[in-house]
Amino acid sequence: MKRRKSTFAPKSALSLDDLKPTRLGEGGRIDIADWSSLPDTLVLDAELRGAMERSIRLLPHTDRSVVLLRDVEELTTEETAEILENASDAVKTRLHRGRLALRQHLDRYLRTRKGGMPHEG
């Protein structure tokens, strides 16, 4: 049976390959922002909070729901599965894909952030 496509479905499904960092040249180092400059005791300033909101909004609908419930609201896999009426394995798969996509969006943001890295709070 052909399933109706959700209004919120992304134009194309994200694949894990799209979310892997690329290498700079053959055998070169991976192309990744300097995340180590983010202090552990970081307090979200308005700019970073805005970047988080935009990054979360960019996630496909199904992955976004899981990321919001698991990582933002800190519910368990089982609680998330119950709310979304999904199997736990499906929640885990969507969570991983959503986290990788969110990391990729934030990685791009960190490269362009004005005034360097956020201040320690």
Partner 1 sequence: MKDDDCARIFELLSEYLDQELAPNSCEQLENHLHGCPECVEFVHSLKRSMALCRQFGSCRAPAPIAPDAMAKLRDAYQKMLARRGGEANASRG
Residues in contact with partner 1 by the rule CB under 8 A? 16, 20-23, 29-30, 32-33, 35-36, 38, 42-44, 48-49, 52-53, 56, 67, 71-74, 77, 79, 82-83, 92, 95-96, 99-100, 102-103, 106-107
> Under a CB-based contact definition with an 8 Å cutoff, are residues 102 and 59 in contact?
yes
Bridge partners, 23 (sequence order): 30
Whole-number Å distance between alpha carbons of 114 and 121: 18
Tell me whether residue 14 or residue 83 sits nearer to partner 1 (CB atom): 83
> Under a CB-based contact definition with an 8 Å cutoff, are residues 97 and 63 in contact?
yes
- The distance of closest approach from Cβ of residue 38 to partner 1 in the complex, given in angstroms and rounded to an integer, is 6
- The distance of closest approach from Cβ of residue 82 to partner 1 in the complex, given in angstroms and rounded to an integer, is 6
Tell me whether residue 96 or residue 113 sits nearer to partner 1 (CB atom): 96
Tell me whether residue 2 or residue 43 sits nearer to partner 1 (CB atom): 43
The residues, any chain, with a CB within 8 Å of residue 64's CB and separated by 6 or more, are 56, 57, 98
* Token pair 């055998």: residue: 27
- The distance of closest approach from Cβ of residue 115 to partner 1 in the complex, given in angstroms and rounded to an integer, is 18
Tell me whether residue 99 or residue 113 sits nearer to partner 1 (CB atom): 99
> Under a CB-based contact definition with an 8 Å cutoff, are residues 100 and 93 in contact?
no
